[in-house]
Amino acid sequence: MRLTMIALAAVTAAAALAPAAGHATTLSPIQEGRRAWLKYNCYGCHGANGAGGMGPNIQHQEAGDVSSAMNGDAKEGGMISFTGIATSTDAKNIAAYLGSIGTKNEPTWVDWWNPVP
Ligand code: HEC
- Identify which of 73, 72, 69, 68 has the alpha carbon closest to the alpha carbon of residue 81: 72
Q: Is 27 in the pocket of ligand 1 (CB under 6 A)?
A: no
In this model, does residue 36 exceed pLDDT 70? yes
**What average pLDDT does range 88-105 have in this prediction?**
98
| Side chain identity, residue 8 | L
Q: Which residue from 32, 79, 82, 87 has its CB within 8 A of the most atoms of ligand 1, so it is best to mutate? A: 79
Q: Is the four-CA dihedral 8, 9, 11, 15 of positive or negative sign?
A: positive
Instruction: Report the alpha-carbon distance of residue 4 to residue 93 in Å, rounded.
Output: 46
Residues 6+ apart with CB under 8 A from 58: 46, 50, 52, 66, 69, 98
pLDDT band at 54 (very low <50, low <70, confident <90, very high): very high
78 CA closest ligand 1 atom index: 12
